[in-house]
Structure 1
Amino acid sequence: MDDEFPRRWAADIAALAAELQLGFEARFGYPPDEHRVAPPAAPEDLARLADLLYGLRLPGDLLEFYRATGGVSLPDVGNAYFISGPRDVCAARDELATVDWAGERLDVVVFASDGGGTRYALPAPTGTPVLRLPPGAITPDRVYTGRHIGRPGAYGPAAADLAEFLARMRDATARFVATGEVTDL
């Protein structure tokens, strides 16, 4: 992911969120919730996240993303789309640290979710693909970690990498703003 992509993406999402607010209640029959593209993450939050990512040997794409925005909340877009801020990403790492996927045990960093309980994670050490973790119980595995137990076969890649995931989210948001059609990530 090039350095400018996260900044362009955040500006695009902010513009789409502002466009969605215009006439929202007349179009959908209820008032809009707050749509938010947070300012860039604070240096101390970036440092904590960097420690986590470097400890897992994950590529720095997520860190670059948080240098452009500290998170995104789009509660009225589709089924809702959320990208957690770096503090929440680090906290979620304590809750959900490994998944059983495609016959492997993977360390993951959960960074996004939708309004239906699906979470999106980057596996270590590659950061690819972005994994879709369906709603499921979290069971203790080790101290400060857990295993995600979802329906067998319900896991899957959501995107080849973080840049593709963000592009898909932007496109799904644009489609919803234009047509009201919901697109799954």
Structure 2
Amino acid sequence: MDIEQVVSMLQEVAEAAAPPDFEQRFGYPPGDNHVVLARDATGAAALQAAFPGKVPPDVAAFFTAVSEVSLPDVWNAYFIGPVSWTIELHKASEPRYVRFEDADREVMILASNVGGDMFGLLVAPEGSMLAIPAAGIENGVHRADTAGAPGYRPIADTFGQFLQRLAQAALAGEPDPFDPHRR
């Protein structure tokens, strides 16, 4: 993942999310679409401390460059980070694990949308990104193996792929590629 390219694409998405005629077209003012650049590697260091030995290089590189992304006017809104949110969700077990195929797998939630859906990374060794619909968290475990969790699925092999696909689809005007309720 070329972090500079991904950050540049996300900044372009934020700028394009609210064109000058946004309020006229939608009937309400645009939200605050922005990418907050990190001042230092504090975010990546905090993730490393919270998930020792489990933070993939692409996640560390992203949160070394970016503190958070807010895209309220892109599809059903997308929010990535901040790291403090990821760490607090994990500490509070909201969720900490995802259960599927009869096993609980640790997850690091990195993004969400306004619909309450989360997008998380399976913590080592798997490393793939998952769409996790807002449903079925029991004792810190998202029960992906229940009928109440439709839409749960792997969506990207890595966090970097998730970011690239998100930015590419938004810039191309495509439908939300990660909507857990769309297959």
Indicate whether the TM-score tops 0.5.
yes
| CA RMSD across the alignment | 2.0
Would you say 1:87 and 2:80 are equivalent positions?
A: no
How many Å separate the matches in 1 of 2:61 and 2:160? 11
* Corresponding position of 1:50: 48
Contact 1:79 1:182 in 2 (8 A): no
Q: Secondary structure at the match of 2:166?
A: helix
Would you say 1:8 and 2:30 are equivalent positions?
A: no
Would you say 1:160 and 2:136 are equivalent positions?
A: no
Q: Secondary structure at the match of 1:38?
A: strand
Identity %: 28
Q: With structure 1 as the length reference, what TM-score do the two structures score?
A: 0.83
How many Å separate the matches in 2 of 1:166 and 1:10? 9
Q: 1:94 to 1:118 in 2, by over 3 A?
A: same
Greater Cα offset, 152-161 or 67-76: 152-161
How many Å separate the matches in 2 of 1:87 and 1:100? 24
Q: Secondary structure at the match of 2:14?
A: helix
Q: With structure 2 as the length reference, what TM-score do the two structures score?
A: 0.83
Greater Cα offset, 94-103 or 63-72: 94-103
* Corresponding position of 1:184: 177
* Corresponding position of 2:108: 109
Counting helix residues as a fraction of each chain, which structure ranks higher?
1
Q: CA deviation at 1:128?
A: 2.3
Q: Match of 1:159, as an amino acid?
A: A
* Corresponding position of 2:33: 35
5+ residue gaps, structure 2 = 179-183
Contact 2:108 2:122 in 1 (8 A): yes
Q: Secondary structure at the match of 2:52?
A: helix
Q: Match of 1:182, as an amino acid?
A: P
How many Å separate the matches in 2 of 1:13 and 1:159? 17
Q: Secondary structure at the match of 1:125?
A: coil
Q: Match of 2:132, as an amino acid?
A: L
* Corresponding position of 1:99: 98
Would you say 1:128 and 2:122 are equivalent positions?
A: no
Contact 1:101 1:155 in 2 (8 A): no
How many residues of Structure 1 are paired with residues of Structure 2 in the alignment?
Answer: 172
Contact 1:53 1:59 in 2 (8 A): no
Q: CA deviation at 1:127?
A: 4.9
How many Å separate the matches in 2 of 1:103 and 1:80? 32
Q: 1:17 to 1:59 in 2, by over 3 A?
A: closer
